[in-house]
Structure 1
Amino acid sequence: MEVPTAFLVISLLLTCFSATTYGVTFSSLKKTLVVTTTTKDQVLKAGDEQITVTWEFNKTYPAGTDSDYKTVKVKLCYAPISQKDRSWRKTVDLLKKDKTCLQKIAAEPYHASNNSFTWIIEKDVPTGTYFVRVYAFNTQGEEVAYGQSTNAEKSTNLFEVQAITGRHVSLDIASICFSAFSIVALGGFFYMEKRNGKASAQK
């Protein structure tokens, strides 16, 4: 009786382990999409400037290769220089654990050509060096192909994003005015207290 129970527990653990480790790997995807951007070697300001991404099916592949492509997701991805010593941006072959491309730019139905999307860089995008990657998904919602605006080593056609830093001038002015008002109010409070104290002493 003990042997079947132990066997059942082990089988259950193995099943759970398999379920958690199974998934699509980046190395299994075909690079069948051609992706370009308007951002070669530029420095762009978050919340202000924009990039235009275009993509299409690489016609050097046989016709029908993209027959199961249903949707695409366009993502902003960290270049290796912006991943160094940052484990939360780590590249992992298992896509569900990969942290290379955390920012979604767009999600659209798949079309083999004439795809273009202009995206204003969102205000919360951190300072870093980036490229753009497009994933193609099948009807099951699994990644089946990709394309990216850089080479395999992720060293060409990169661009930088400069995050929003510091405070706005109007906020600084408001802060100074509030501080000055607080000092004047505090001085007035002490003056009134001192005056009321003298008046009480004279009585």
Structure 2
Amino acid sequence: MPARRSLLTAVAGATATMLAGCLASNDPPADASPSSAPSPTPTPVSTPPGDCSALELPDANPSDHGVESLPYPDLPSELDDERAATFAKQFERAWWHNDVLDDRSAVGNLGVTVLVDDVAPRSDGVGFVVTTSGEFVFDYPPGNESGTATSGLGVLPTTRYLVTGRFALRTGASDSTAAADGTLVACSE
């Protein structure tokens, strides 16, 4: 029993020490303005290296039942938050439509719904970060490998785009990668 008491005393002492550090106030004085806190500097963005004509994007042949691949949108000629959101939404829809179609050539119907969860201008004024999510549904008509009509549903991962007037970068939102370090998916030559 004494060993248990010693252990509990040591744990209680360590907890009290940690809490004392957490409870100590490092808060600014009440009269300090919120703007006095420094804001983080965004990652600088320069035109990514690479050949605009050699981008590796999901593409697919038409399905056995006539479902066509979708073309990728061009970057907007003028950029604002609405155009950046529209570009990211259309691009993400084409990306997943073509990716699912490439994996499932016998699909009879395919629908991809993309939602724009957030659009935020970069604090350095270089483009907009757009966050998307969504889902896809598909079905196989009767006569497929199983012989019966089947369908499926999938959830799209959350994705972030950095859309600028010169290029767009794409990265998964669960990545620790900043949107500015994403993969080049579109650029103007």
Q: Which of the five TM-score ranges fits, normalised by the shorter chain?
A: under 0.3
Q: Which has the higher contact order (CA 8 A, sep 6+)?
A: 1
| CA radius of gyration, larger in | 1
Give TM-score, length-normalised by structure 1: 0.24
